[in-house]
Amino acid sequence: MAFDPAVVRASFAVVERRADHLTTFFYAHLFNHNPGLRPLFPARMHEQRDRLFAALTRIVLRLDEPERLVEYLRALGRDHRKFQVAPEHYPAVGASLIAALRQCSGHSWTPETERAWTEAYAMIARIMTGAADDPLDDHPAWWEAEVAGRRRAAPDLVVLTLAPTRPYPFTAGQYLTLTSPRTPRVWRPYSLANAPRPDGSLELHVRRVPGGLLSPVLVEDVMPGELLRLGPPLGEAVLAPASDRPLLLVAAGSGWGQAKALLEQLTAEQPEREATVLLAARSAAGQYDLDTVRRLLTRNPRLRVLTATPDRSAGPDGSTALLRRTLLGHGDFRGWEVHLSGPPGLVGELAELLLTLGAAAGLVRHDPVPATFNRNRPLTSSDWFLDRRDVPWINRTDLG
């Protein structure tokens, strides 16, 4: 690492309080000097600006951890292939990034600062393009998949069956990102809700997010016969190989999809293994797909399923409180393998609770979650700095 990480960190501390101005200037500069790049981005840019700043933050935080930084940048480089980002685009992005940093730094910008950022970006570009062009990675940039079926499982949730046009290799517990021609350039992550099948089909459980760009389209509009585009499989919340530890799966809401995939694998490969599923919902109407739960119970004699549904008087946090009481009532999870799936805030809270109940950190698995879950967009730079919030990430592989 030729540049001084301390110089980059000090510079970033100056501009992070002007994050919205920084990212707005960056894209204005990029598109003004490279108008041919505009079609690569979504029509609505505010989320794209958030993701850019989130990625910059992640990179700066990793400067003293070279191995984790390289891992993150390689994942980012591979994932950017689905956006049709090519090596020749990186110099333009670098020039606009330096221009935006210079604009937002004021008198604190020095030749030393510019040299450090230039060298840092050269490293970033080299790692990302190297990962994107890795000859050992034979995965395509994306897969096309036909919607082969859809089933309304709840008023705000559909189960989609997808038929990829080429084999889609994944492991139970992973997730993918997808987009629809109805919402060009808008990608969102969804857990794969099945273990690999002989026919290669995929199952997704999609809940409508109020104000969302993609989920309402998938829930209400996308019909069988339409094509969706899938990014490569991501995530490491998979079953530990050859483990015979008792297994706890806590699934809230549509997080049942990921738990279902893990249970299908468990039932096929280790039907004798002890497993407990704690299935939570905010209301009785939210407990969907119970027929599948019953089928899995008949096929796996050592599977136990507990449902956690609060009564109507419990309020919006009733299911969280019920889950906490249930886990506390068990008391000791030493030696257990634990998988958590559901809303990010809940998953993070339960992970912390389970550690206090004896679960080993290396045996508690879940998809990476952001530190906060606040979808209100800040109005000023002070709001941004003081009230950090969830970002609709392009790539969630390194958020934990």
The answer as to whether 400 is a domain residue is: no
What tokens were used for 121?
A: 């970006």
The answer as to whether 394 is a domain residue is: no
> In terms of residue numbers, what domain contains 321?
247-365
CATH code where residue 127 lies: 1.10.490.10
CATH code where residue 204 lies: 2.40.30.10
What tokens were used for 378?
A: 């800040």
Give the pLDDT of residue 397. Answer: 38
The answer as to whether 65 is a domain residue is: yes
Give the pLDDT of residue 333. Answer: 94
The answer as to whether 373 is a domain residue is: no
* d(C-alpha 82, C-alpha 80), whole Å: 5
The answer as to whether 370 is a domain residue is: no
Strand stretches in 269-399, DSSP E: 275-280, 303-308, 337-341, 364-365
Give the pLDDT of residue 383. Answer: 53
Give the pLDDT of residue 312. Answer: 66
Q: What is the DSSP letter of 45?
A: -
How many domains does the chain contain in total?
Answer: 3
Q: Which residues of the chain are under the pLDDT cut of 70?
A: 1, 136, 311-317, 369-400
Q: How many CB atoms lie within 10 A of CB 278?
A: 22
Give the pLDDT of residue 296. Answer: 93
- Domain match, 187 and 73 both: no
Give the pLDDT of residue 368. Answer: 75
- Domain match, 202 and 282 both: no
Tens of pLDDT, residues 268-305: 999 999 999 999 888 777 789 999 999 999 999 899 99
* d(C-alpha 288, C-alpha 280), whole Å: 10
Strand stretches in 132-246, DSSP E: 143-154, 157-164, 175-179, 188-191, 202-207, 227-230
- Three-state secondary-structure class, residue 1: coil
The answer as to whether 202 is a domain residue is: yes
CATH code where residue 357 lies: 3.40.50.80
- Domain match, 27 and 58 both: yes
* d(C-alpha 310, C-alpha 307), whole Å: 10
- Domain match, 212 and 282 both: no
What tokens were used for 371?
A: 């530190």
Give the pLDDT of residue 184. Answer: 87
Tens of pLDDT, residues 108-133: 999 999 999 999 999 999 999 998 88
**CA dihedral over 250, 253, 254, 257, signed as positive or negative:** positive
* 388 alpha carbon, distance to own chain's centre: 17
Residue with tokens 């100056």: 14
First to last CA, the chain: 24
- Domain match, 51 and 93 both: yes
Give the pLDDT of residue 369. Answer: 64
